A and B are shown apart, each in its own frame.
Chain A
């Protein structure tokens, strides 16, 4: 990493000085946590006290210390340990940049929430200045080679411990982020999380974590679901956050289905929400309530499958004529299909033709699910903790999400998944090698539709009502953005993307009018700097950086040497 503005000679000369400056700045930032940052208590989580840091200030304290520690380590162990390279300076650079962003965000949040920069107290100004100086000083430091922590051999118990710690941190992050009603705190916390991940990535620790946890995939997955399963029990009976969490899960499960279409088969689908909608309407029509338009009420399992099949049939109908032609046509047709769906649902109100959906009013009561005598509408008490209505649905959605992830990753690592990769790589060559290109594309399209349909049938009951307005193009584009921003073809990336995109509007209600503007801006920035998404599948990264030979060499080195592992692990993480 060379920064063009600063010549190597200058860096050599001022390097030692820059190290000292960075250490001092880190210490200052840590100390600043004890100073007041604002004059009013409404900004962030009340940062007005002298000597009593709030949680947000405590993290700044930690980060300041870590910055100083990273530079100290770079002096003490410049070449890492043994043959293992550690990215001390790389991490320090990322952290200094991150701290600068954090203090800018903090200053911005205080000014917005209290009305003007006048409300920023001296603590925040000192912090901002220290972060700026640290940022400039780290530009004078010469970074290490690519860290090789990911090649370390890790004992099993340490990997398991790492998994446990990661899971606890994730549970805490989710709990804390959901708990914030103050948008300033929420944004600052998100930035903290981002900076933390960036530092882990740059020092090479993330590579080590990925490798260590990847060696125990089953434990990791089990732990992740255990944590997700325990989440409702941290809410102390409150259903407010659980309703958001349930929506996040619906969104994530749907995005994961779209991930098969977009991420694996490489097809652009702009009307995916219609499949979710058709599933929801089928479930609502068959829900057996007074509003339902059919007088049949099959068990929910049957309704679920039926919803999926209806959506899949629609997918086949749309897909079979269009998948033979190139991708752009498919995008246009699916876009049109989304509109056709919305308009038909609006017009099937009985004035012309059958009354299936009650028109734009929709089916306003779908009733609650009742599976095996378990009433999803009622509050249950488990282990002394109240589990409300949304928490009940949260559990069933979690199970469904697990199934979708299982389907996704198993298809990805199979004969079919290899075929999809080949089609993305070179369609003509794939065809000439006997891959059934059309069949595989159609299958991706139909299976994606099926999964969305089933998710829709659950969503119908979570939302209580199903109206055509909730299944519009904007939702399709959000789903697509979750996949693209998170990382096409990855499980973790799409989960993160879906969570962020669903959580942000909930927590940042004050920017609601500007939501789309921010969203568009975010997309443009991402596409410019990291088109492969937050979490990149290695293969996708290679596809997006076709000319980057260095990247190809590096990823090649990281590939599993044993041929057996290639087929099993595949490309997704």
Chain B
């Protein structure tokens, strides 16, 4: 735990944020999915992103990882503006998982993780064809690292199994291992415990703490409030694309606006009908 994420949710001035989003806005035609979100993540911090369905959480993730180009605003990572290109974002050190698991189903677990080493290796066609020393070294390193990561997430015994044959919980963990293989500084998890039973959720929680302890910052989207409030140092609540509350789990939990956003009042429900839900 670093000193940056202080308990009152304010940020200390002396440490640079790892990632800072400034006024990030994503518009789809007339629909504003993400509306001027300001957001900082500090090294070694677990950040929670909550909000009702359609609040723009995944869209915001897509803006951060270059899958969408934000309509306006910018994202600075590690002192440099992130370009809206997924490949460049990964190389800069931001990795993600997907809400609906997107593993390479017909590759083995090990191969899935090895693929993600792509951006950290550089063997070209020539050395691959002649099997030069560089190729052999890199290939060995890739495999060692992938095996190590499978161990790290607790899947050492399924390395040779096809991803599609893994259990649901294992697939989620494999996706995390795959994201970690890109050597990120920041890991974005999109609903890492969706569809998991309580035991698997607890394991996921431990895994995320373990990832944080290895020096990464984590942002996680989640609907399971117990999970979020156990895990996160700070929580941002998005409602209809706008940041509603940013603070410690306790602050967010007790904020009447958050409760209102989730449970809803008559007025807000009517508002929702207008069609902000993306």
- Chain B window 76-101, contacts with chain A (Cβ cutoff 8 Å), 1 for yes, 0 for no: 00000000001100110001101000
Q: Is the CB of B135 within 8 A of A434?
A: no
> Once bound together, how far apart are the Cα atoms of A431 and B159, in whole Å?
23
**Across-interface contacts of B118 in A (CB, < 8 A):** 415, 418-419, 422, 433-436
> Once bound together, how far apart are the Cα atoms of A561 and B103, in whole Å?
21
Q: Is the CB of B106 within 8 A of A425?
A: yes
CB < 8 Å neighbour of A552 from B65, B86, B164 = B164
Smallest Cβ distance from A504 to chain B, in angstroms? 32
- The segment out of B10-18, B19-27, B136-144, B250-258 that lies at the interface is B136-144
Nearest-CB residue, chain A, relative to B175: A429
A161 lies within 8 A of chain B by Cβ: no
A414 lies within 8 A of chain B by Cβ: yes
B6 lies within 8 A of chain A by Cβ: no
Q: How large is the interface on A (under 10, 10 to 19, 20 to 34, 35 or more residues)?
A: 35 or more
Nearest-CB residue, chain A, relative to B97: A432
CB < 8 Å neighbour of B143 from A406, A426, A567 = A567
A553 lies within 8 A of chain B by Cβ: yes
**Across-interface contacts of B161 in A (CB, < 8 A):** 556, 559
- The segment out of B121-129, B238-246, B267-275 that lies at the interface is B121-129
> Once bound together, how far apart are the Cα atoms of A466 and B178, in whole Å?
51
**Across-interface contacts of B121 in A (CB, < 8 A):** 415
CB neighbors of A among B37-73 (8 A):
65, 67
CB neighbors of A among B153-177 (8 A):
159-162, 164-165
**Across-interface contacts of A406 in B (CB, < 8 A):** 129
Nearest-CB residue, chain B, relative to A416: B128
- Chain A window 176-219, contacts with chain B (Cβ cutoff 8 Å), 1 for yes, 0 for no: 00000000000000000000000000000000000000000000
B131 lies within 8 A of chain A by Cβ: yes
> Once bound together, how far apart are the Cα atoms of A560 and B159, in whole Å?
10
Smallest Cβ distance from A567 to chain B, in angstroms? 6
- Given A553-B165, A566-B110, A566-B111, decide whether A414 and B105 contact each other with a Cβ distance below 8 A: no
Nearest-CB residue, chain B, relative to A555: B162
**Across-interface contacts of B139 in A (CB, < 8 A):** 414-415, 567
Q: Is the CB of B116 within 8 A of A556?
A: no
Q: Is the CB of B125 within 8 A of A411?
A: yes
Q: Is the CB of B129 within 8 A of A434?
A: no
Nearest-CB residue, chain B, relative to A403: B129
Q: Is the CB of B90 within 8 A of A414?
A: no
Smallest Cβ distance from A540 to chain B, in angstroms? 9
> Once bound together, how far apart are the Cα atoms of A285 and B179, in whole Å?
52
**Across-interface contacts of B111 in A (CB, < 8 A):** 418, 421, 566-567
Smallest Cβ distance from B126 to chain A, in angstroms? 10
- Given A425-B104, A434-B87, A542-B106, decide whether A443 and B115 contact each other with a Cβ distance below 8 A: no
Smallest Cβ distance from B121 to chain A, in angstroms? 6
Smallest Cβ distance from B188 to chain A, in angstroms? 10
CB < 8 Å neighbour of A556 from B102, B119, B128, B165 = B165
Smallest Cβ distance from B167 to chain A, in angstroms? 13
- Given A432-B96, A556-B161, A560-B160, decide whether A422 and B115 contact each other with a Cβ distance below 8 A: yes
B193 lies within 8 A of chain A by Cβ: no
Q: Is the CB of B143 within 8 A of A429?
A: no
B107 lies within 8 A of chain A by Cβ: yes
Q: B86, B135, B161, B179 — which one has the most chain A CB atoms within 10 A of its CB?
A: B86
Q: B95, B129, B161 — which one has the most chain A CB atoms within 10 A of its CB?
A: B129
Q: Is the CB of B178 within 8 A of A433?
A: yes
Q: Is the CB of A415 within 8 A of B162?
A: no
Q: Is the CB of B128 within 8 A of A561?
A: no
Q: Is the CB of B164 within 8 A of A434?
A: no
Q: Is the CB of B164 within 8 A of A432?
A: no
Q: Is the CB of B123 within 8 A of A552?
A: no
Q: Is the CB of A416 within 8 A of B125?
A: yes
B114 lies within 8 A of chain A by Cβ: yes
CB neighbors of B among A378-413 (8 A):
406-407, 410-411
**Across-interface contacts of A4 in B (CB, < 8 A):** none
**Across-interface contacts of B96 in A (CB, < 8 A):** 432
**Across-interface contacts of A419 in B (CB, < 8 A):** 115, 118
B147 lies within 8 A of chain A by Cβ: yes
B182 lies within 8 A of chain A by Cβ: yes
Q: Is the CB of B160 within 8 A of A432?
A: no
> Once bound together, how far apart are the Cα atoms of A543 and B118, in whole Å?
22
- Given A563-B159, A564-B143, decide whether A435 and B87 contact each other with a Cβ distance below 8 A: yes
> Once bound together, how far apart are the Cα atoms of A418 and B117, in whole Å?
10
B108 lies within 8 A of chain A by Cβ: yes
A539 lies within 8 A of chain B by Cβ: yes
Q: Is the CB of B102 within 8 A of A426?
A: yes
CB neighbors of B among A470-526 (8 A):
none
- Given A411-B125, A416-B128, decide whether A433 and B106 contact each other with a Cβ distance below 8 A: no
> Once bound together, how far apart are the Cα atoms of A563 and B156, in whole Å?
10
> Once bound together, how far apart are the Cα atoms of A563 and B87, in whole Å?
27
- Given A421-B104, A434-B87, A436-B87, decide whether A429 and B129 contact each other with a Cβ distance below 8 A: no
CB < 8 Å neighbour of A563 from B107, B117, B160 = B160
> Once bound together, how far apart are the Cα atoms of A331 and B107, in whole Å?
27
A430 lies within 8 A of chain B by Cβ: yes
**Across-interface contacts of A553 in B (CB, < 8 A):** 165
Q: Is the CB of A426 within 8 A of B104?
A: yes
Q: Is the CB of B142 within 8 A of A428?
A: no
A357 lies within 8 A of chain B by Cβ: no
> Once bound together, how far apart are the Cα atoms of A439 and B87, in whole Å?
11
> Once bound together, how far apart are the Cα atoms of A418 and B121, in whole Å?
12
Q: Is the CB of A435 within 8 A of B115?
A: yes
> Once bound together, how far apart are the Cα atoms of A434 and B87, in whole Å?
4
> Once bound together, how far apart are the Cα atoms of A567 and B159, in whole Å?
11
Q: Is the CB of B165 within 8 A of A552?
A: yes
> Once bound together, how far apart are the Cα atoms of A437 and B88, in whole Å?
12
CB < 8 Å neighbour of A432 from B90, B129, B142, B165 = B90
Q: Is the CB of B90 within 8 A of A425?
A: no
A74 lies within 8 A of chain B by Cβ: no
A287 lies within 8 A of chain B by Cβ: no
**Across-interface contacts of A431 in B (CB, < 8 A):** 86-87
**Across-interface contacts of B178 in A (CB, < 8 A):** 433
> Once bound together, how far apart are the Cα atoms of A407 and B130, in whole Å?
9
- Given A428-B67, A567-B139, decide whether A434 and B128 contact each other with a Cβ distance below 8 A: no
Smallest Cβ distance from A558 to chain B, in angstroms? 11
**Across-interface contacts of A561 in B (CB, < 8 A):** 160
**Across-interface contacts of A562 in B (CB, < 8 A):** 160
> Once bound together, how far apart are the Cα atoms of A414 and B103, in whole Å?
19
A57 lies within 8 A of chain B by Cβ: no
Nearest-CB residue, chain B, relative to A562: B160
A447 lies within 8 A of chain B by Cβ: yes
Q: Is the CB of B160 within 8 A of A435?
A: no
Q: Is the CB of A418 within 8 A of B128?
A: no
Q: List 13 A-B contacts (CB under 8 A).
A: A410-B131, A415-B117, A419-B118, A421-B106, A425-B105, A433-B178, A434-B95, A436-B87, A542-B106, A556-B161, A556-B162, A566-B160, A567-B139
Given A406-B129, A418-B114, A559-B162, 14 more A-B residue pairs with CB atoms under 8 Å apart are A410-B129, A410-B131, A411-B128, A415-B117, A415-B139, A415-B142, A421-B107, A429-B104, A430-B115, A431-B87, A432-B102, A552-B165, A555-B162, A563-B159
Q: Which are the 3 A-B pairs with shortest beta-carbon distances?
A: A434-B119, A434-B90, A414-B128
